[in-house]
Amino acid sequence: MAKIEARTVMSDQNGSVVARSHERKIRKSLGAGKTNGKGAKESSRNRVKPINRLNDLNAKEWIPETVSVWIQRGLGKGHEHAQIERQHPAPFSYQDVGRLIRFFTKTGETVLDPFVGVGSTLKAAAMEGRKGIGIELNKKYADLARVRLKTELTEEVAAAARKDQKVIRGDARSVIPTLAANSVKLVVTSPPYWNILHKQDHKQRQERVAHGLDTRYSSHAADLGNIESYPAFLEALANTLSLTRTCLADGGHLCIVVGDFRQKSKYFMFHADIAREMEARGFTLKGLKVLYQRHKRIFPYGFPYSYVPNLHHQYIVILAK
Ligand SMILES: C[S@@+](CC[C@H](N)C(=O)[O-])C[C@H]1O[C@@H](n2cnc3c(N)ncnc32)[C@H](O)[C@@H]1O
């Protein structure tokens, strides 16, 4: 026990090492890797059950993925394959999306991201041997997503991606209805968080200005991140996501990666609002995951007057068709 604690403290500055340590502990508590007394590994844990219609995971791989807290994984901003990702103001990690893809699809099935940005979902889909469709309004990001599929994958995976991964430039509201019925097994996305990128005091925004990087997605009227009122934004987003019901196969899932946020002194429970709106449109809420962003900097917000949180987590809202 003392050993585990020491290792966790020592790797405090490195989210991915901490994540691996945390996951090892979970696997250990599940008895994964135990032998049967004759030296052979317990084999039923290692076999994919024939009745498993959801994914290609065996018991040993499946059970840890059901834990409701994940530690966000990332390459670190100095990594050569993090440079395109950095050009976008709000990418998510392809490693976290890869975990969702592995859990909610089988090899060869199709994943859709209606707000694909610079293509993190398609990169993950390619690496997992799934087909992918990504929709993006902003030409610059759609083009970068295509570059990423050529430059951040092994030769073999990039060759398969040429036919299996599709980036479609356009408004998700017009493109989703053109997709074939029942053709997608998982919709996974991170939408704009209302217009919070426009906030002047947004710390990340100040840092991006200093580095000459984009601070908002676009000035396009069809960009959901430019809608002025929160209720109008929420309705537009929920209506857009509910368009996926037709292309989503029976038994398919919708995973929405979102964070709560503050606008002036008001706190918005965005994850709860979008979950409620999707349930009102016929989706079934299966659960939430907290995605702990352990790497984020801490700012002295509110000190010494009032409680203002450093928001260091996102949610994955998991819904079924
Ligand atoms: C949070 S970002 C997604 C980032 C993405 N997960 C990634 O890792 O690159 C949301 C994206 O939605 C796009 N967007 C906004 N309105 C859209 C619309 N109506 N149709 C398609 N894309 C839209 C924005 O340009 C932005 O790139």
Peptide bond into 231 cis (omega under 30): no
Residues 6+ apart with CB under 8 A from 281: 238, 239, 241, 242, 245
* 222-253 pLDDT tens trace: 999 999 999 999 999 999 999 999 999 999 99
pLDDT at 22: 61
Atom of ligand 1 nearest to the CA of 171: 20
Pull the structure tokens for residue 60.
């040993």
CA 191 to ligand 1 center in whole angstroms: 6
Domains defined for the chain, CATH in brackets: 2-46 (no CATH), 59-320 (3.40.50.150)
Q: Which of 191, 56, 64 is nearest to 130 (CA)?
A: 56
Top-confidence residue, 282 or 29: 282
Asked if residue 199 has pLDDT above 60, the reply is yes
Q: Tell me the average pLDDT across 249-264.
A: 96
- Over range 91-97, report the average pLDDT: 96
- Tell me which of 203-207, 241-245, 300-304 is least confident: 203-207
Residue 211 exposure: Cα atoms within 13 Å on the Cβ side: 14
Angle at 263 between CA 89 and CA 310, to 5 degrees: 70
Q: What is the pLDDT, as a whole number, of residue 44?
A: 75
- The residue-averaged pLDDT of 27-38 equals 50
How many other C-beta atoms lie within 10 A of the C-beta of residue 13? Answer: 9
Is 50 exceeded by the pLDDT of residue 132?
yes
Q: State yes or no: pLDDT of 41 exceeds 90.
A: no
Distance 76 CA to ligand 1 centre (A): 22
Contacts for 235 with CB less than 8 Å, ≥ 6 apart: 277
- Residue 19 pLDDT grade (very low, low, confident, very high; cuts 50, 70, 90): low
Q: Which atom of ligand 1 is nearest to the CA of 116?
A: 5
Pocket of ligand 1 (CB under 6 A): 88, 90-92, 115-118, 120, 135-138, 141, 171-173, 190-192, 217-218, 222-225
- The pLDDT of residue 2: 33
Least confident of 1-5, 249-253, 295-299: 1-5
Nearest CA to ligand 1 atom 26: 117
Q: What is the mean pLDDT of residues 284-296?
A: 96
Closest-CA residue, ligand 1 atom 13, reads 115
For position 36, what pLDDT does the model report? 44
Tokens of 102: 């592995």
Residue 10: band (very low, low, confident or very high) from pLDDT cuts 50, 70, 90? very low
CA distance 281 to 319: 11
Q: pTM score, two decimals?
A: 0.89
Closest atom, ligand 1, to C-alpha of 90: 1
Name the least confident of 1-5, 27-31, 199-203, 309-313. 1-5
Q: How far apart are CA 58 and CA 52, in angstroms?
A: 9
Residue 20 has pLDDT above 70, yes or no: no
Higher pLDDT, 249 or 77: 249
Return the pLDDT at 91.
92
Nearest-CA residue for atom 27 of ligand 1: 117
Task: State the average pLDDT for the chain.
Answer: 88
Region 282-291: what's the mean pLDDT?
98
**The pLDDT of residue 128:** 98
Q: Which residues of 28-67 are buried (b: 16+ CB within 10 A; e: fewer)?
A: eeeebeeeeeeeeeeeebeeeeeeeeebbbbbbbbbbbee
| Residue 209 CA to ligand 1 centre (angstroms) | 20
From the CA of 86, how far away is ligand 1's center (Å)? 14
pLDDT at 21 over 70: no
Query: Using CA atoms, how far apart are residues 267 and 247, in angstroms rounded to an integer?
Result: 34
In this predicted structure, which of 27-36, 73-82, 112-121, 167-176 has the lowest mean pLDDT? 27-36
- Mutational pocket test of ligand 1: of 72, 101, 113, 116, the residue with most ligand atoms within 8 Å of the beta carbon: 116
Report the separation in Å between the CA atom of 45 and the middle of ligand 1, taken as the mean of its atom positions. Answer: 39
- Residues 225-246 as b/e (b if ≥16 CB within 10 A, e otherwise) read bbbeeeeebbebbbebbbbbbe
Q: What percent of the chain has pLDDT over 90?
A: 73
